[in-house]
């Protein structure tokens, strides 16, 4: 079975749109997401456009603030401080990566944790690891939504996560652990990776290398979640971290690239924006 993140996100966004339509009567306004984009990286611009489009579908007010890559760290911090203080703003997202002269941690730490729709603030990350109420970052949350929608039981399963990033690998491992999977996190220094991935019943791949996971690395019946967004070095087309054609016949469930995890990430950003709005409104 191929899980379409595109279809699932369309359905979830339609449900959110219905909910948001009732907000003006109840709360006097709709949620407001502010996206800050520094520089002119084409991929970042494309992601930010996707966020604006999804906001429109759901009925969330979206403001995208574009800044040149000559902006200083102090100027960006001042911008965030203004957004933190602005009561009409519910969610703040600073698109990453930032130019080299700006310290990303300082920027993330400056966003009010109540408006941190990315769930990247240290206090949200700490709360996740302490099983306390928090904003869960969008990609890991989207992955769990997809597994649930596909009817995959997580409890008791051997889950293997390839990649240990703060944004995907670590939080998705924690979410799987919280759902009682037995989780192994693999990375660039892992010895004999295929012997570990072959034991996986659920395999999440977030390593950022085109078609890294080959057919021989996966056992029959594995649930495969591909988080990769890469350009195929030969064709220039988008491709995942998993060699889809080789792995799909063995997998019981698999996500495509594009149209898999990506749309679910944006969908969960909408969810997080609504969540921040509701916490601030009630």
51 or 157: CB nearest ligand GUN:
51
Site for ligand GUN in 71-110 (CB under 6 A): 93-96
Residue nearest to ligand GUN (CB): 96
Catalytic residue among 13, 61, 90, 95: 95
Q: How far is Cα 137 from Cα 34, in angstroms, rounded to an integer?
A: 16
Mask: binding to ligand GUN, 13-42, rule CB under 6 A, as x and -? ------------------------------
Q: Cβ atoms within 10 A of the Cβ of 155, count?
A: 8
Q: What is the nearest approach in angstroms of ligand GUN to the Cβ of residue 249?
A: 30
Q: What is the nearest approach in angstroms of ligand GUN to the Cβ of residue 199?
A: 29
Q: How far is Cα 248 from Cα 213, in angstroms, rounded to an integer?
A: 11
User: Binding of ligand GUN at residue 55 (CB under 6 A)?
Assistant: no
Catalytic residue among 90, 116, 118, 243: 118
User: Binding of ligand GUN at residue 239 (CB under 6 A)?
Assistant: no
73 or 248: CB nearest ligand GUN:
73
User: Binding of ligand GUN at residue 8 (CB under 6 A)?
Assistant: no
Q: How far is Cα 58 from Cα 149, in angstroms, rounded to an integer?
A: 20
Residue in 90, 118, 241, 271 binding ligand GUN, rule: CB under 6 A: 118
Q: What is the nearest approach in angstroms of ligand GUN to the Cβ of residue 72?
A: 19
97 or 194: CB nearest ligand GUN:
97
Q: Note if 51 is an active site residue.
A: yes
**Residue 239 gets which letter from DSSP?**
E
**Residue 193 gets which letter from DSSP?**
H
Binding residues for ligand GUN, total number by CB under 6 A: 8
CB-CB contact of 223 with 150 (8 Å): yes
CA distances from 207 to 113, 162, 185, 188, 235 (A): 27, 6, 11, 9, 20
Peptide bond into 258 cis (omega under 30): yes
Q: What is the nearest approach in angstroms of ligand GUN to the Cβ of residue 94?
A: 6
CB-CB contact of 37 with 45 (8 Å): yes
Residue whose C-alpha is closest to residue 261's, from 151, 142, 152: 142
132 or 166: CB nearest ligand GUN:
166
Q: Which two tokens stand for residue 174?
A: 């924690």
Query: DSSP labels for 6-57?
Result: HHHHHHHHHHHHHHHHTHHHHHSS--EEEEEEES--HHHHHHHHHHHHHHHH
Site for ligand GUN in 121-140 (CB under 6 A): 138-139
62 or 222: CB nearest ligand GUN:
62
For 31, phi then psi, to 5°, come to -60, 150
Residues of this chain that interact with ligand GUN (CB under 6 A) are 93-96, 118, 138-139, 167
What is the set of active-site residues?
Answer: 51, 95, 118
């Amino acid at each position: 079975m191929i899980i379409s993140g595109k279809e699932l996100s369309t359905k979830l966004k339609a449900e959110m749109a219905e909910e948001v339509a009732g907000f003006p009567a109840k709360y006097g306004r709709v949620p407001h997401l502010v996206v800050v984009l520094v520089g002119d990286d084409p991929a970042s611009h494309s992601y930010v456009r996707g966020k604006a489009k999804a906001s429109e579908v759901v009925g969330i007010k979206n403001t995208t603030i574009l800044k040149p890559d000559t902006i200083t760290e102090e100027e960006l911090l001042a911008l965030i401080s203004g957004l933190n203080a602005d009561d009409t703003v519910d969610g703040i997202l600073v698109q990453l990566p930032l130019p080299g002269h700006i310290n990303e941690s300082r920027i993330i730490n400056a966003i009010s944790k109540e408006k941190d729709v990315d769930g990247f603030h240290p206090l949200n990350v700490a709360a996740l690891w302490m099983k306390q109420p928090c904003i869960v970052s969008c990609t890991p949350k989207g992955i769990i939504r997809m597994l649930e929608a596909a009817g995959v039981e997580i409890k008791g399963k051997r889950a293997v996560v390839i990649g240990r990033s703060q944004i995907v690998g670590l939080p998705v491992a924690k979410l799987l652990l919280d759902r009682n999977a037995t989780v192994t996190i693999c990375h660039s220094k892992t010895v004999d990776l295929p012997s570990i991935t072959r034991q996986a019943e659920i395999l999440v791949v977030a390593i950022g290398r085109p078609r890294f996971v080959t057919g021989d690395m996966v056992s029959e019946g594995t649930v495969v979640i591909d988080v990769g967004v890469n350009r195929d070095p030969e064709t220039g087309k988008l491709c995942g971290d998993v060699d889809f054609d080789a792995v799909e016949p063995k997998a019981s469930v698999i996500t495509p690239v594009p149209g898999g995890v990506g749309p679910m990430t944006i969908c969960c950003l909408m969810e997080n924006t609504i969540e921040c709005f509701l916490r601030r409104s009630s």
